[in-house]
């Protein structure tokens, strides 16, 4: 299951890069809700910036 976690992490980081760090836009790119994206960010330890 570690491989799927890494894939999810890379996809999130790529979406955040494409969106210029805008989490709302990144969620849209990924096709998930903003809340789901925040949950994944916390779960994967990707917190940074506002609200961390």
The answer as to whether 52 is a domain residue is no
Helix (H, G, I), strand (E, B) or coil at 34: helix
The answer to whether residues 12 and 46 touch, using CB atoms and an 8 Å cutoff, is yes
Q: Has residue 48 been placed in a domain?
A: no
* Residue 14 forms part of a structural domain: yes
Looking at residue 48, its pLDDT comes to: 61
Expressed in angstroms, the distance from the first to the final Cα of the chain is 26
The structural domain count of the chain equals 1
Q: What is the CATH number of the domain that holds 9?
A: 1.10.10
Range of the domain at 13: 2-43
Q: Would you say residue 38 lies in a domain?
A: yes
Over residues 1-52, the pLDDT tens digits come to: 689 999 999 999 999 999 999 999 999 999 999 999 999 999 999 986 554 4
Cα separation of 47 and 32, whole Å?
18
DSSP, residue by residue, 1-52: -HHHHHHHHHHHHHHHHHTTT-HHHHHHHHTS-HHHHHHHHHHTT---STT-
Please check whether residue 32 lies inside any domain of the structure.
Answer: yes
């Amino acid at each position: 299951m570690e491989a799927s976690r890494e894939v999810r992490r890379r996809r999130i980081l790529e979406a955040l890069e494409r969106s210029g760090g805008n989490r709302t836009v990144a969620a849209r790119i990924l096709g998930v809700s903003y809340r789901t994206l925040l949950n994944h960010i916390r779960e994967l330890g990707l917190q940074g910036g506002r609200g961390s």
